[in-house]
Amino acid sequence: MDGPRVALVTGAAQGLGLAISRRLRAQGYDVLMGDVNADGVTDAAAELGGTGLVMDVTDDASVASAFDALHGRALDVLVNNAGLISRQPAQEFDSAQWEREMAVNLGGTMRCSRAAYPHLRQASSPSVVNLASVGSTFGLPQRLGYSTAKSGILGLTRTLAAEWGPDGIRVNAVAPGYIETQMMLSGFASGALDRDRLLDRTPLGRFGTSEEVAAAVAFLVSDDASFVTGTVLKVDGGITIDGSFHARVPSDSEVVSN
């Protein structure tokens, strides 16, 4: 009998990576949980019954040793979730921080995908999911590094999907909107995000949950998505398609026809 499917999730110590790991674990996957936060990922893996891996996605040797934990086994799913954001004016953007945001958000996705390839090839229906963002669609003021890197994720996703499709490897992205995590709360705390304005222009009128993002990842890696590759699945309550530009939509009784 075949063994359980195997997934590796980066940035799995907290937030979306933890929720994605929990979801895949609940579906019976062996989950390898990678994070640069050693204590966090060790505790999280112990809680979920996964395998914690201390890994820095910006470092080739660290990524290589994390994939060594597979001991040459097949990898069914790679989720490139590790991410980093900073907020500062574009005209003052710190060069070292720029390099860091490219290295984690974009370089980490490339590095882990590259290391995963020989393992993915051994699986029967392998796939990769990359975490994009509203920053892949919007120009996000004060988040030049993040927005640029997350836009790059779309090109990386399409290119890998085209190049690895003949190997049977599907590559897709999930683009979360505003989700109740530390990353969003830090935006409220710094004043970079306004809760009411965000809710006002979100057609579904609420923030998302980590579980809703995890569910989208679970769909994309499942056999239900067996002909889906190179795409971006937005999980954003409609915020990136809203074109109303009204403070609010008038009710039917307020609409005057002439």
Ligand X SMILES: NC(=O)c1ccc[n+]([C@@H]2O[C@H](COP(=O)([O-])OP(=O)(O)OC[C@H]3O[C@@H](n4cnc5c(N)ncnc54)[C@H](O)[C@@H]3O)[C@@H](O)[C@H]2O)c1
Single out the residue of 16, 75, 198, 239 in contact with ligand X (rule: CB under 6 A): 16
Alpha-carbon distances of 53 from 22, 47, 71, 212, rounded to whole Å: 15, 14, 14, 25
Q: Which residue has the tokens 């590094």?
A: 145
**Is 84:56 a contact under the CB 8 Å cutoff?**
no
31 sits near ligand X (criterion: CB under 6 A): no
Instruction: Choose between 7 and 13: whose C-beta lies nearer to ligand X.
Output: 13
> Nearest 5°: phi and psi at 182?
-55, -40
Q: Which amino acid is at 151?
A: S
**Among positions 32, 106, 115, 179, the unique one binding ligand X when judged by CB under 6 A:** 179
- Does the protein bind ligand X through residue 37 (CB under 6 A)? yes
Amino acid at 204: L
The type of residue at 48 is: L
The CB-of-105 to ligand X minimum distance in angstroms stands at 6
81 touches 20 (CB < 8 A): yes
Nearer to ligand X, 124 or 186 (CB): 186
| H or E stretch at 151 | helix 144-164
202 binds ligand X (CB under 6 A): no
Smallest gap from Cβ 93 to ligand X, in A, equals 18
Answer yes or no whether residue 55 interacts with ligand X by CB under 6 A.
yes
- Asked if residue 133 binds ligand X (CB under 6 A), the reply is yes
User: What gap in Å lies between CA 180 and CA 233, rounded to an integer?
Assistant: 18
Whether 146 is catalytic: yes
Active site positions, annotated: 146
Point out which residues bind ligand X (CB under 6 A).
10-11, 13-17, 35-37, 55-58, 81-84, 104, 108, 131, 133, 176, 178-179, 181-184
